[in-house]
Amino acid sequence: MSVSVEEGLALLKRRLVEINDVRSAGAVLGWDQATHMPIGGAASRARQRATLSRLAHQKATDAELGCLLDTLHSQRQGVLEPDSSLVRVARRDFEKASKVPAGFVERASAHQSQSYAAWTRAREENDFAAMVPYLTKSVELSREYAEFFAPFEHVCDPLINEADEGMTVAEIRRIFSELRPALIDMTREIDDQARLDNSCLKGMFNEDQQIAFGLLVVEKIGYDLSRGRLDKTVHPFSTRFSSGDVRITTRVRTDEISESFFSTLHEAGHALYEQGVSEELDGTSLGRGASAGLHESQARLWENIVGRSYPFWEYWYPVLQNRFPGSYADVSLDGFYAAINRVERSLIRTDADEVTYNLHIMMRFDLELEMLEGRLNVKDLPEAWRARMCEDLGIEPETNREGCLQDVHWYAGHIGGAFQGYTIGNVLGAQFYETALQAHPDIPQQLQRGDYSQLLDWLRTEVHQHGRRYQPNELIVRATGKPLHVAPYLKYLCEKFDALYSLPVSKDRSDQLVTVQSNGALPTTGGG
Amino acid sequence: MSVSVEEGLALLKRRLVEINDVRSAGAVLGWDQATHMPIGGAASRARQRATLSRLAHQKATDAELGCLLDTLHSQRQGVLEPDSSLVRVARRDFEKASKVPAGFVERASAHQSQSYAAWTRAREENDFAAMVPYLTKSVELSREYAEFFAPFEHVCDPLINEADEGMTVAEIRRIFSELRPALIDMTREIDDQARLDNSCLKGMFNEDQQIAFGLLVVEKIGYDLSRGRLDKTVHPFSTRFSSGDVRITTRVRTDEISESFFSTLHEAGHALYEQGVSEELDGTSLGRGASAGLHESQARLWENIVGRSYPFWEYWYPVLQNRFPGSYADVSLDGFYAAINRVERSLIRTDADEVTYNLHIMMRFDLELEMLEGRLNVKDLPEAWRARMCEDLGIEPETNREGCLQDVHWYAGHIGGAFQGYTIGNVLGAQFYETALQAHPDIPQQLQRGDYSQLLDWLRTEVHQHGRRYQPNELIVRATGKPLHVAPYLKYLCEKFDALYSLPVSKDRSDQLVTVQSNGALPTTGGG
C-alpha cells in the first residue's frame, strides 16, 4: 500500500461513513416501524432491516478495511487526535466484527425476529411454555457468540463487553454485592413506614397536553428540537440517525401523568448525550455514546437525580399546576414531590422506584448468568424468578406475564449483557452528579430557577463531546477522578429517602459507605 | 454455471429482493425527510440517501447478476410465467443500468441535490439567474445520460424511455399535435363565457377535518389503510415501500378546501395502483407500476374523471355538507360541482383545471426538447416561457417564480422525460374509463351510491395486478383493445364541459374526433 497517512485516513473515513449510513438507514426503518408504519408493512420491513444489517456487517468486515486499518495502525506515530483514537476504535470494532461469521449474524437475526414476534403473543397470553424453545435457542446462540471471543473468564464476559466495554462478570458482581444488601435493607425500612400518597398522579390527563408539557421541559433542559423530535410509541426509546437528527419517543397514558413525563425525560437524557457528541466525529466509529452504562447514566441522571428532585419541581410545579389546574390546584408541591418518589415493592421493573429498581436488575443479571452457565434450565425460569422476587422484594408475581415474561430483552435474543447497564447507569449518574456539584456547587439553585446550563455544560465537556474516543472506564476516571464506585449513589439514595421517610438505620449505612469507599474510591463527605 | 433453472430463479429473486430492499430503504428515508425529519438532519440525510442509491446501483450492475440473467435467458424455454417476464424485465433493467457508469450516477446525484437546494432558495427569491449555471449543467448531464443509450432518433428518446418505456419524441409529438389545437379552442370558447363561481371553495376549513374527510373518501374507494397512511407534506406524493406499505401525502390549506382533497384523491389513485400489484411480484423487478404515464392515468382517473364528476358528489356532497355545515349548508350540489370544475387561464400548472392542464404540460415538453437540442439557451428560458404562455393561454407571468421557476422537475436535475407522463396519464385515464364503462355500463350509478367496486375491480384486473409484466403499450392494448389514442379523452372533455359551458364548436369537434380515431383506434360512439 503506497497511500499517505492523509489519504489512508480519508479512505478510512469514507468507508466508515458508508457503514454508518447503512446502519443509520436501518435505524430510520426501525423508528418508522415503531412510530408510523401501517401493520401491513411488518413482514417486508423485517426483511429490509435484515438486508441493511447484512450489508453493514459485510462492509464492516471487508478485508480491505482490515488492511487499511493495519496500515494506519503501523503509521500511528504520524496520526494526531482524534484520528488516532478513531484508528484504534475502528480497528477494535473491525477485529470484533470479523470474529463473528456472516452466517451466524444471519441465523441470529432471523431467530431474534421470530422470537420477538412469538413473545408479543406469548406475553399477551401469559404463555411461558410457548417461549421455552425460543429462549433455549437464544441461550445457545448467546453461548455460541461468546465462543467467538474465547478465551474468557466467564461465558458472559464477551456479551457484557459488547454493551459495556471493559466490564466483566467479576467486576459487576463486586459492584452488585455492595449494592444489594443496602438496597434490601432500605426497602425493608421504608416498607415498615406509612406509604406516601401518590393518588394525585392518577386521573384524566389530556394526551396532547402531556406531550406538550414534556416537550417544554426537555427543550428547556437543552434537547435541541431542530435536531430532534418526540413521538409516541408502545415502548419509549431514543435513536440517533446523525448528530443533526436524534429522536426520542414516549408512551402516554391518559389515566396517569408521571409515566409519560419521566419516560420523555429519560429518553431526552439519552438524546442529550448523542446531541452532545462532537460534530466532527459524526458518521465515524467515534460518533456516538460510549457504552450502555454511560448512556443509561445520562438518562437516569436527568430522569431521577434532576427530574425527581425537589429544586427541579420548585420551578416546574407551578407550570404543571397551570397546565393541569383541575388536577393540581389543590395539591401542594410537597405532596407532588412525595408522590413521584413513593417507594413500593412492585412486580414490574419499568414501574419501579429508585430504591427498588436495581433489585429488579440484579436478579435478572444473576438469572441470565445461571442460564448461560447451564445451572438454570430455561423451563425452570418462572420458579427461579418467583423465588428471587420473594427473597429480594418480599412479593411474587401471580402470572409469568408480570414475572419472567415482562421484559423484551431476553426474548429479542439477548441473553447476557442486556441488563447490567441500567444499574451501572444509576451508580454512574450519581458519581457524575456528585463531581459536577463539586465543580459547580450552586447547580441546585440553578435547578430552582429552571437553569440547566452549568450541569449540562459539565456533562457536555466531561462526557458527551468525547463520543467513543475513550474507553468507558477511562472516561469515568477522566471525568470524576475515580473509577466507577457505588458510594455516591448510596449516599444520594440515603440522603434523599431519609428526608422522605426518615430511615432508622441510615446512620449505620453511612458507616457502611466508608467501607465501600475504601474499595479504590476517595472518601466523600458524610452519609445520609 | 451448473445451477438448475429453479436454483437460478431463486438466486435471481434473492438478488433482486436485496436491491429492492436497499431502494425501499432509500424511499423510507425520503418519506421521512418530507414528513417528519427535523431540519438538522438534512445534510446527513442527503448523504445517507446517496449511499443507498450507490449501493443499489452497484448491486443492480453486478457482473454476476448479468451472468445469471444471461443463463436464465438461454434457458427461457423452461421458465413459466410470471418468471419468464421477470427474467425479461430484469435483464432489460440490468442492461440499462449497466450502460450508466457509477461515476456518472455519483456526479449526477450530487448535482441534483445541490440544484434542488439552490432552487428552493431561488424560487423563494424569484432569482432565475442563480439557477442558470445549475440548469445548464442539468442539460449537459441529461445529454450525457442520453449518449449512453446511443444511437437514438432524438436525444430525448432515452430520457422519455426511462419514465415511459416504449414512448418516443415522435410519438408524443403526434399525440400532442392532436390535442393542442382542440384544447386551445376549448379554452377560448370557455373564456368567452361567464366564469363559474368557485367562491364556495374558499373560507376557513379545519385542517384535521379536511384530512379526515379525505381519508374517509379514499378508504371508501378502496385505499387500504392497514397497508398505507396519509401524512402532510409541502408537496404531495405517494411512495411504495412494499405491497403492504404504500403511503400518500397531501398539502393542506386552511383557507381553501379543494386543493387538499383532490391531492389526496390523486395520490390515492397512485397508491391504489401500487396496492393492486399482485403480491407474488412484491420485491422483484415486476412489483410496481409500469410507467409514469400509466401511473398518472390512475391518479388522474380517480382525481378528475371520478372525483370531479357529478355522480361522485351526489353521494359525497351531503357528507361534506354535514362535516362543514358553516360553509356548505346554503350551497347547492350544482353550485359545488360547478366550482370544482371552473375553467380558467392560470399561471400555475398544479392549480390548472382539466381543460388547460395539458397546455401547461405541452409547453414544458417542447421547451425541454429545445433546451436538449441546443436550440434554446438556458438563459433565454424565461422569455421563451412567457411567449409560449401568451400563445397558448393568453396570459403571461409577471415573475419567473410564477413562470419557469414554478416546477421542481428541471431543478431536481430531470431535463427531458419528466412532464409527458402527466398528459399521457390524462389521455389514458379516459381511455381506461371508457373501456371500463363498456364492460360495466352502470359504473356511474355505482358512483351515485358511493360504490367503486366495478371500476376498481376492472382496473385491478386489467391494469394494477400486472405490475411491470407487460410493456406499457402492450398493457394498454390488452386492457382496451387499442393503443393509446386521444379520442376518448377529447370526447370526455367535450361532453363534460359542453354540459357546464355549452361550447359552440363542440359539434365540429365531434367530427374532428372521427379523424383522430382513424389513427389506429376503433371509432367510439358520438362526440360532445
Task: With CB atoms and an 8 Å threshold, state whether B244 touches A43.
Answer: yes
User: B90's torsion region: left (phi>0), alpha (psi -120 to 50) or beta?
Assistant: alpha
Q: pLDDT band at residue B234, thresholds of 50, 70 and 90?
A: confident
Query: Which residues on neighbouring strands pair with residue B248, listed in sequence order?
Result: B230, B238
Q: Which residues of A touch B42 (CB under 8 A)?
A: 244
What pLDDT digit, counting tens, does each position of B413-445 carry?
889 999 999 999 999 999 999 999 999 999 999
Whether the pLDDT of residue B337 is over 80: the answer is yes
Per-residue confidence (pLDDT) for residue A508, from 0 to 100: 52
Task: With CB atoms and an 8 Å threshold, state whether B245 touches A45.
Answer: yes
Q: Which residues of A touch B29 (CB under 8 A)?
A: 25, 28
Per-residue confidence (pLDDT) for residue B503, from 0 to 100: 74
State the smallest CA–CA distance between residue A229 and chain B in angstroms: 7
Per-residue confidence (pLDDT) for residue B110, from 0 to 100: 85
Task: With CB atoms and an 8 Å threshold, state whether A42 touches B244.
Answer: yes
Say what the pTM is.
0.92
**B211-216 average pLDDT score:** 98
Q: Which residues of A touch B230 (CB under 8 A)?
A: none
Cell numbers linked to B297: 392515468
A234 at interface of B, judged by CB pairs closer than 8 A: no
**B497-505 average pLDDT score:** 82
Q: Which of B231, B252, B250 is nearest to A231 (CA)?
A: B231
A208 at interface of B, judged by CB pairs closer than 8 A: no
Task: With CB atoms and an 8 Å threshold, state whether B44 touches A241.
Answer: yes
Whether the pLDDT of residue B517 is over 80: the answer is no
Interface test with B, best of A13, A31, A51 (most B CBs within 10 A): A51
Determine phi and psi for A477, rounding to 5 degrees.
-65, -40
**A258-276 average pLDDT score:** 98
Share above pLDDT 90 across residues of chain A, in percent, rounded to a whole number: 89
Given a contact cutoff of 8 angstroms between Cβ atoms, the answer to whether B381 and B135 are in contact is yes
B39 at interface of A, judged by CB pairs closer than 8 A: yes
Buried b (16+ CB within 10 A) or exposed e, B158-179: bbbbbbbbbbbbebbbebbebb
Q: Running DSSP on this structure, what letter comes out for residue B1?
A: -
Provide the edge-to-edge strand list for the sheet that holds A238-242. A230-232, A245-250, A238-242
What pLDDT digit, counting tens, does each position of B400-415 carry?
999 999 999 999 888 9
Task: With CB atoms and an 8 Å threshold, state whether B241 touches A42.
Answer: no
The residue ranking higher by pLDDT, B509 or B101, is B101
Residues in chain B, total? 528
A24 at interface of B, judged by CB pairs closer than 8 A: yes
Per-residue confidence (pLDDT) for residue A413, from 0 to 100: 81
A276 at interface of B, judged by CB pairs closer than 8 A: no
Share above pLDDT 70 across residues of chain A, in percent, rounded to a whole number: 95
Here the contacts of B473-482 (C-beta below 8 Å, separation 24 or greater) are: B473/B166, B473/B167, B475/B290, B475/B294, B476/B294, B476/B428, B476/B431, B479/B432, B479/B435, B480/B431, B480/B432, B480/B434, B480/B435, B481/B435, B481/B522, B482/B431, B482/B520, B482/B521, B482/B522
Distances (CA, A) of B68 to A441, B23, B55, B86: 70, 21, 19, 13
A34 at interface of B, judged by CB pairs closer than 8 A: no
What pLDDT digit, counting tens, does each position of A381-400 carry?
999 999 999 999 999 999 99
Task: With CB atoms and an 8 Å threshold, state whether A244 touches B28.
Answer: no
Cell numbers linked to B78: 423452461
What pLDDT digit, counting tens, does each position of B137-169 carry?
999 999 999 999 999 999 999 999 999 999 999
| Half-sphere exposure (Cβ direction) of A165: Cα atoms closer than 13 Å | 17
User: Catalytic site residues of A?
Assistant: 267
State the smallest CA–CA distance between residue A234 and chain B in angstroms: 18
What is the full DSSP assignment across A234-295?
A: SS--EEEEETTEEEEEE---SSBSHHHHHHHHHHHHHHHHHHHS-GGGTTSTTSS-S-HHHH
Whether the pLDDT of residue B515 is over 90: the answer is no
Task: With CB atoms and an 8 Å threshold, state whether A245 touches B37.
Answer: yes
Question: Who among A52, A226, A283 is closest to B40 (CB)?
Answer: A226
Whether the pLDDT of residue A105 is over 50: the answer is yes
Given a contact cutoff of 8 angstroms between Cβ atoms, the answer to whether B19 and B60 are in contact is yes
What pLDDT digit, counting tens, does each position of B59-73 carry?
999 999 999 999 999
Q: Which residues of A touch B225 (CB under 8 A)?
A: 38
Q: Which residues of A touch B52 (CB under 8 A)?
A: 21-22, 25
What is the full DSSP assignment across B413-470?
A: T--SSSSHHHHHHHHHHHHHHHHHHHH-TTHHHHHHTT--HHHHHHHHHHTGGGTTSS
Task: With CB atoms and an 8 Å threshold, state whether A242 touches B41.
Answer: yes
B403 at interface of A, judged by CB pairs closer than 8 A: no
Q: Which residues of B touch A225 (CB under 8 A)?
A: 38
Q: pLDDT band at residue A523, thresholds of 50, 70 and 90?
A: very low
Q: pLDDT band at residue B527, thresholds of 50, 70 and 90?
A: very low
B280 at interface of A, judged by CB pairs closer than 8 A: no
B229 at interface of A, judged by CB pairs closer than 8 A: yes
What pLDDT digit, counting tens, does each position of A129-155 carry?
999 999 999 999 999 999 999 999 999
Cell numbers linked to B283: 420485491
Whether the pLDDT of residue B174 is over 80: the answer is yes
Whether the pLDDT of residue B187 is over 80: the answer is yes
Task: With CB atoms and an 8 Å threshold, state whether B41 touches A225.
Answer: no
CA–CA dist A462, A472 (Å, integer): 12
Q: pLDDT band at residue B317, thresholds of 50, 70 and 90?
A: very high
Cell numbers linked to A247: 429522536
A28 at interface of B, judged by CB pairs closer than 8 A: yes
Residue A142 host element (H or E): helix A128-147
Q: Measured in whole angstroms, how far is the alpha carbon of residue A328 from the centre of its chain?
A: 32
What pLDDT digit, counting tens, does each position of A325-372 carry?
999 999 999 999 999 999 999 999 998 999 999 999 999 999 999 999
Interface test with A, best of B241, B249, B280 (most A CBs within 10 A): B241
Residues 6+ apart with CB under 8 A from A27: A239, A240, A241
Query: Which residues on neighbouring strands pair with residue A245, listed in sequence order?
Result: A242
B34 at interface of A, judged by CB pairs closer than 8 A: no
Q: Which residues of A touch B51 (CB under 8 A)?
A: 17-18, 21-22, 25
Cell numbers linked to A321: 399546576
Q: pLDDT band at residue A504, thresholds of 50, 70 and 90?
A: low
CA–CA dist B85, A421 (Å, integer): 53
Answer whether the bond into residue A82 is a cis peptide, omega within 30°.
yes
B243 at interface of A, judged by CB pairs closer than 8 A: yes
Q: Running DSSP on this structure, what letter comes out for residue A378?
A: G
Whether the pLDDT of residue A503 is over 60: the answer is yes
Q: Running DSSP on this structure, what letter comes out for residue B239?
A: E
Share above pLDDT 70 across residues of chain B, in percent, rounded to a whole number: 95
Per-residue confidence (pLDDT) for residue B522, from 0 to 100: 34
Cell numbers linked to A2: 503506497
Question: Who among A17, A44, A228 is closest to B244 (CB)?
Answer: A44
Question: Which one from B178, B267, B434, B462 is the annotated catalytic residue?
Answer: B267
Per-residue confidence (pLDDT) for residue A520, from 0 to 100: 36
A228 at interface of B, judged by CB pairs closer than 8 A: yes
To the nearest whole number, what is the mean pLDDT of chain B? Answer: 93
Whether the pLDDT of residue A442 is over 80: the answer is yes
Provide the edge-to-edge strand list for the sheet that holds B230-232. B230-232, B245-250, B238-242
**B75-90 average pLDDT score:** 94
How many CB pairs below 8 Å do chains A and B form together? 128
**A312-317 average pLDDT score:** 98
State the smallest CA–CA distance between residue A21 and chain B in angstroms: 5
State the smallest CA–CA distance between residue A281 and chain B in angstroms: 13
The residue ranking higher by pLDDT, A192 or A297, is A297
Is residue A136 exposed (0-12), middle (13-18) or buried (19+ Cβ within 10 Å)? middle
Whether the pLDDT of residue A234 is over 90: the answer is no
Per-residue confidence (pLDDT) for residue B114, from 0 to 100: 87
Cell numbers linked to A1: 500500500
Per-residue confidence (pLDDT) for residue B261, from 0 to 100: 98
Q: pLDDT band at residue A519, thresholds of 50, 70 and 90?
A: very low
| Half-sphere exposure (Cβ direction) of A294: Cα atoms closer than 13 Å | 32
